[in-house]
Amino acid sequence: MAKKSKDQDKKQEKSKKSRSSTAKINAGAEGKTEKNFDVTGIMLITLGVLILLSLFSSLFSNPSSLSGTIGIFLNKFFTGMLGLGAYIFPVFFIFIGLNYIATRGKLKFNQRFYGIILLVICTLLFIEMLVLPHYYKDGYLADAIIAQFNGDSTFHGGIIALLITVPLYQLFGKWGSYIIFIALYIIAVTLISEVTLKDLISKGKEYFAKEENQEKSEIKIGNEVAVEQVKESASVSQDFSTKLDPKIKIIDFMKSMESGEEPIETHEKPRSPKREVFEDQKHREVINTEIEEEIQINTSSSNIHYEYQYPSIDLLSKNEALNLKKGDKKELLNSANKLQETLLSFGVEAKVIQVTKGPSVTRFELQPNVGVKVSKIVNLSDDIALNLASSGVRIEAPIPGKAAVGIEVPNKDLTPVFLREVIEAEEFSKSNKNLAFCLGKDIGGNCIVSDLTKMPHLLIAGATGSGKSVCVNTLLMSLLYKYSPEDVKLLLIDPKVVELNIYNGIPHLLIPVVTDPKKAAGALNWAVNEMTRRYKVFADNNVRNIEATMT
């Protein structure tokens, strides 16, 4: 038993030694193979660099000093055999060497790598087919090989490409060979891009369709969007109709005013008897005569001539927001696109040719397509306002002097027009009108200047906040900036007291601004008498206005 146990121990020790020796052998073999991979990779990289150096050494006057005799031989050999491909060939050597080191000899090339190789080969064949008539002249292949190998030019595919293109040229001809090259190009692109031929054709169709039919695609997109909007609005209206309660209570406020209830009694004291506003006729006559005498005194004293100093333009504020911002331009373009799509959804083909943003209104100029009725655009004003989210639109069909339809949309944010802009404009400064005054700007940004003599019965009216006071002050300021007191005399009546008091002291006034209603009657009475006197002068001279009287 003791002998058997000793024998077993000896066997186990031998097996352990054999295992350790085999492990050492395997480890040594793996180390050697890893070193072999590095050596092989370095050799491939070195070979590629040497070939590149030999190829580019021909650019220098003494190529042998860079690459030596072997380099000159390699240059001649590779350029003769591969042509322009000789400059790509060493790059593959360097790439394979780096890949060999990185993967430890386990080179795996995917289809993209093979696609690149096929693309290079196809390009060399294509270049060789281009220069083939220069070398392959008399139908002798040997002469073509010698001429190409000994030639100085490297613009060819090499002898290998020559041996392939000559049979292709003889079998399929020049254009048949080009068709084969195109097929090879398509295969190479599919391998490189990893896209199937079906996907490639569909992408090509989409690209050319976008380039050729861009306007049509935009119209289709606009039509689809508009149809979706119509469908959505129709669905919303259906929801409204289904949700509407038929027993809804309707209240007419006009009927509530005619209710049969008795009026509520009030405990007001009886009013005193009515009395006239003015105490008596004599008091009014005294006030009128005082005002008329004051005006006559001022008119007589105005015969003394003084040099009138016109007010400086720097007293007026300057408008800093004269140019459109980038955001405004983008918003205008979006609105124009939306307008075009809206019209298209109703079957109206029209193109926005110009957008003009005014102070308060933006005008879109439309050019309808041939056969589109203008009345059809006019009838869509409510739909246009709805799609543009506007309170309303004004359609000018057509614009005077233009073959276009104008659609005016109110601006969300109003841009103020400063008086200084109009006074500095040539329309006002060089105006030949008798009594020119500024009114503002139109949609196109043109200054509007009118003549006060052509509107003797002018009435400025409007709702609260519509700009009546601004208009009156603009009129007066225009006269002060344009005319001297010798040209214009003013009689200002301000029952509100707070509107025209700022003009007290200007030399154009006949009397200070009248704020007392009792004195206003006297001032107006003088104006009526003066007007009557002038009409008599017109009648005596057989004329109709002051200009004719002076001539």
Residues of the chain above pLDDT 90, percent: 0
The pLDDT assigned to 241 comes to 36
Largest Cα separation within the chain, whole Å, is: 168
Alpha-carbon separation of residue 353 from 243, 361, 403, 412, 522 (angstroms): 43, 17, 11, 22, 59
> Residue 5 — pLDDT band, cuts 50, 70, 90?
low
Strands 405-410 and 447-451: unpaired
- pLDDT tens digits, residue range 331-345? 888 888 888 888 888
Residues of the chain above pLDDT 70, percent: 71
- pLDDT tens digits, residue range 421-460? 888 888 888 888 888 988 888 877 788 899 988 888 889 8
119 near 181, Cβ under 8 Å?
A: no
Least confident of 75-79, 167-171, 265-269, 277-281: 265-269
With residue 335 as reference, give the H or E element that holds it: helix 326-345
Dihedral, CA of residue 516, residue 521, residue 526 and residue 532, to nearest 10: 150
Q: How far apart are CA 94 and CA 42, in angstroms?
A: 9
* Residue closest to 513 by CA, chosen among 526, 499, 527, 525: 499
> Residue 398 — pLDDT band, cuts 50, 70, 90?
confident
CATH of 326-410, one of 1.10.10.10, 3.10.20.30, 3.30.980.40, 3.10.180.10: 3.30.980.40
Least confident of 96-105, 133-142, 213-222, 313-322: 213-222
Say whether the peptide bond before residue 398 is cis (omega within 30 degrees of 0).
Answer: yes
- Highest-pLDDT range among 14-23, 52-61, 182-191: 182-191
> Residue 509 — pLDDT band, cuts 50, 70, 90?
confident
> Residue 551 — pLDDT band, cuts 50, 70, 90?
low
Q: What is the mean pLDDT of residues 270-293?
A: 49
> Residue 291 — pLDDT band, cuts 50, 70, 90?
low
Least confident of 220-229, 510-519, 527-536: 220-229
The pLDDT assigned to 249 comes to 35
Tokens of 157: 């595919």
The pLDDT assigned to 96 comes to 82
Domain boundaries, the chain: 21-202, 326-410, 417-482, 484-551
The CA-based angle 434-436-438, given to 5 degrees, is 175
The pLDDT assigned to 161 comes to 84
> Residue 252 — pLDDT band, cuts 50, 70, 90?
very low
Terminal-residue alpha carbon distance, the chain: 160
Q: How far apart are CA 432 and CA 429, in angstroms?
A: 9
> Residue 251 — pLDDT band, cuts 50, 70, 90?
very low
- Highest-pLDDT range among 96-100, 413-417, 447-451: 447-451
Alpha-carbon separation of residue 39 from 53, 91, 257 (angstroms): 21, 18, 109
The answer for residues whose C-beta is within 8 angstroms of residue 492's C-beta and 6 or more apart is 500, 503, 509, 513, 514
In total, the chain counts a number of residues equal to: 551
Strands 361-368 and 350-357: antiparallel
pTM of the model: 0.44
Q: How far apart are CA 396 and CA 362, in angstroms?
A: 13
pLDDT higher at 266 or 495: 495
Average pLDDT, the chain: 74
- pLDDT tens digits, residue range 115-135? 888 888 888 888 888 888 777
- pLDDT tens digits, residue range 457-475? 889 888 888 888 889 999 9
> Residue 230 — pLDDT band, cuts 50, 70, 90?
very low
φ/ψ of 321, rounded to 5, equals -105, 65
> Residue 522 — pLDDT band, cuts 50, 70, 90?
confident
Q: How far apart are CA 276 and CA 290, in angstroms?
A: 21
Least confident of 241-245, 384-388, 495-499: 241-245
Tokens of 356: 């003009």
In terms of Cβ atoms closer than 10 Å to its own Cβ (0-12, 13-18, 19+), residue 97 is buried
Least confident of 18-27, 80-89, 124-133: 18-27
Q: How far apart are CA 252 and CA 259, in angstroms?
A: 11
Least confident of 60-69, 81-90, 226-235, 400-409: 226-235
* Residue closest to 79 by CA, chosen among 164, 166, 153: 153
Q: How far apart are CA 81 and CA 78, in angstroms?
A: 5
